[in-house]
Chain A
């Protein structure tokens, strides 16, 4: 059984509906990539799982989120609070601002262990230093007594990861953990997280807009576009035979060393605004394979080969798709 099971999740913020019927599963020990351009609803999905939608004035309007058999949508706040950080932990996007500037690094990691595991101050400190070492923070004992401003961005991100790991969660959600970092350390951080997750048998929801990172780390991929799931499949199938034209475009955007100069292009057009989503398939205005039906009818997320895709063209013309793949 899946550890986290999100079914038909819809979220509204005021009159806007930024998430519309998202479904996916994360199994025990699985790393699932969540990809899509900015504004596709990746972070909002993470906020929904964490139960933090009220912070941004959002509300679940339908669907269910089940974690290890617990229905999170109806979980009372005190029990949710005991779950956050203890069984589900979030690694947030920006390490520069995710740490309290006036509290020592160590104390910030310690308090997670003190809060959730009931450790004594000394035990929590020993444990924090141990986790910091596993994250390859040099001179962990010294850094434990430092303030956030004394660390580099990469080190801060490791500290944020250490805070997420401090209470031994079963599911980690990493929301673009490397976006704010230097390219040279992005791969390194991802590798450390993935190694730790594999080693401890944790599940990881890795939110990113970088297909290269997905290829490097994930077992399964959920492709989001404008608040809906465009395609969902295993990693080999996603890269081997992508079904949705949007997935193909994303893969085409990964730069390669043998590419002709000047041939690196983006996806034409822009992500539609949540205030003004197109009718039918939300990708159709930017889609090279768009059919007449695409503007009128919303494509259902249907089983396609090993995975699921929401595309009229993929369902109707299987031959054409494989020619593209």
Chain B
């Protein structure tokens, strides 16, 4: 597990520290959006459409005259909540599946491995598009689609870890003291397998933000007027020559957030020295 001394090392390294500050800012925007945003995200004023960035509207306005900065701040809320919820669901289901498959082995293990490898063989975007085609667009479908798209990764990573851990002597020792399967899996095996899965989950959150933005760009994610960075970029394409800031600012936000997540993840991986475990899955 992450010790406080490791955490200090991560935060004091240049990339760890800078990326942590960026992520903190994005998270504060997401959590306190109604307090920070200068205007409501959905108030239209067609007279003020496509205004240049100014002191009144720091990032300008969009084609309906809505304040872009306010929409950016609310957009952070959409992007982060969708990505984090989806990845949390994915990690929870993936860990349970991978752990039980590895622990009990046999036909169940082969079934899980085959199913998971099947989804692993398609790009995430394709899986997400197929799922949304089935269950219809919207924020909830986006979450479900993203969580299933990344399921294979966490299942495989957990399975490999548990495979190695289940032959440890302490598992046999715990059984010989009368512990049941659930106790062994949840108290002993999963906690020992947790670190690499958490880090993989963190890195996947970055990918999930891009996937959410992509789906939003296609109009399959958040439905108007709910702001999402991907959908904002999509509406900005029409205005790209008149009001380029509408597409530039959400694009920058996505890029900076994802880069920060990846840099922070890299710093964690280096400090915890788990690069090999992540690669092995």
Interface residues of A (CB under 8 A from B): 50, 52, 55, 81-86, 89-90, 92-94, 97-103, 111-112, 115-116, 160, 163-164, 166-167
Q: Scoring B residues 167 to 190 as 1 if CB is less than 8 Å from chain A, else 0, what string do you get?
A: 011101111111110010001100
- Inter-subunit contact B172/A52 (CB<8 Å): yes
**Residue from the set A82, A98, A115 with the largest chain B CB neighbour count within 10 Å:** A98
Q: Cα distance A235–B68 when bound, in Å?
A: 90
- On whether A102 and B169 interact (CB within 8 A), knowing A81-B180, A115-B178, the answer reads no
Q: Say if the beta carbon of B192 comes within 8 Å of chain A.
A: yes
A102 interface neighbour in B1, B175, B176, B180, Cβ under 8 Å = B1
For A88, give the chain B residue with the smallest CB separation. B176
- Inter-subunit contact A52/B176 (CB<8 Å): yes
A50 interface neighbour in B168, B176, B179, Cβ under 8 Å = B176
Residues of A within 8 A of B178 (CB): 81-86, 112, 115-116, 167
CB distance from A4 to the nearest CB of B (A): 15
- Inter-subunit contact A102/B192 (CB<8 Å): yes
Q: Cα distance A83–B174 when bound, in Å?
A: 13
CB distance from B256 to the nearest CB of A (A): 35
CB distance from A139 to the nearest CB of B (A): 23
Q: Cα distance A94–B169 when bound, in Å?
A: 8
Count of B interface residues, CB-CB < 8 Å = 18
A/B pair count, beta carbons within 8 Å: 67
Q: Cα distance A86–B178 when bound, in Å?
A: 7
- On whether A92 and B176 interact (CB within 8 A), knowing A97-B168, A98-B169, A100-B170, the answer reads yes
Q: Scoring B residues 51 to 80 as 1 if CB is less than 8 Å from chain A, else 0, what string do you get?
A: 000000000000000000000000000000
- Inter-subunit contact B175/A84 (CB<8 Å): yes
Q: Cα distance A101–B194 when bound, in Å?
A: 13
Closest 5 CB pairs of A and B: A85-B178, A85-B177, A90-B176, A84-B178, A97-B169
Q: Say if the beta carbon of B225 comes within 8 Å of chain A.
A: no
Residues of B within 8 A of A50 (CB): 176
- Inter-subunit contact B176/A85 (CB<8 Å): yes
For A116, give the chain B residue with the smallest CB separation. B178
**Residue from the set B168, B172, B178, B192 with the largest chain A CB neighbour count within 10 Å:** B178
CB distance from B196 to the nearest CB of A (A): 14
CB distance from A21 to the nearest CB of B (A): 25
- On whether A112 and B177 interact (CB within 8 A), knowing A100-B188, A101-B192, the answer reads yes
CB distance from B183 to the nearest CB of A (A): 8
CB distance from B165 to the nearest CB of A (A): 10
Q: Say if the beta carbon of B191 comes within 8 Å of chain A.
A: yes
Q: Cα distance A167–B178 when bound, in Å?
A: 10
